[in-house]
Amino acid sequence: MRWLLPVLSQELKKPVGRIKKLKEIEMTDPIADYLTRVRNAIMAKHKVVEIPGSNLKKDITKILYDKGYILGYKFEEDSKQGKIKIALKYHPETKVSAIKSMKRVSSPGLRKYSDARELPRVLNGLGVAILSTSQGVMTDKEARKMNIGGEVLCFVH
């Protein structure tokens, strides 16, 4: 039994499997991460939220700004992918956020596509469905007007 101790102690020193550093972890769903960061910032009553940038996230941010859900945004370029700074919008008196709900619809594991005739409506037209189409990222109303369908990314109201 004593002869096993040196063998076991040597085996315990070896790393089991691959250990990834915190910076090397890949993100499987960047859109869900974007929505979660904005949601968390709203719940914490932050005025500004900073998000890692991408072209798709920039397009979603532009739509949120155009529809009046956020006060403003700024794209900052750096050596990697850049950052998006979003100024969140709250009611001046009640401090209630302009964004009530953000829900991811299509995910990497289960994509949701909709053609032009079956585009979803959010709160009977009061909310916005954001779609990725062959013509770019747009709202459900714009896609209906252009008569094109696409992947339903998220619902915002």
DSSP codes, 130-151: EEEETTEEEEHHHHHHHT--EE
Encoding tokens for residue 110?
């289960």
74-100: pLDDT as tens digits = 999 988 889 999 999 999 999 999 999
- Write down the pLDDT at residue 27: 75
- For the domain bounded by 28-156, which CATH number is listed? 3.30.1490.10
What would the pLDDT profile of 126-155 be if each residue is shown by its tens digit? 999 999 999 999 999 999 999 999 999 999
Are 114 and 123 spatial neighbours (Cβ–Cβ below 8 Å)? Answer: no
Q: What is the predicted pLDDT for the residue at 13?
A: 55
Alpha helices by DSSP H, listed for 44-134, are 55-66
pTM value surpassing 0.85: no
Beta bridge partner(s), residue 97: 90
Would you kindly state where each structural domain of the chain is located, as residue ranges? 28-156
In angstroms, how far apart are the furthest CA atoms of the chain?
80
Q: Give the other-Cβ count within 10 Å of 150's Cβ.
A: 22
Higher local confidence (pLDDT), 139 or 28 = 139
Instruction: Give CA–CA dist 7/47, Å, rounded.
Output: 57
Query: Highest mean pLDDT range out of 6-10, 15-19, 53-57, 79-83?
Result: 53-57
- 3-class SS at 22? helix
Residue 10 has pLDDT above 80, yes or no: no
102, 61 in Cβ contact below 8 A?
no
Given this model, what pLDDT does residue 4 score? Answer: 45
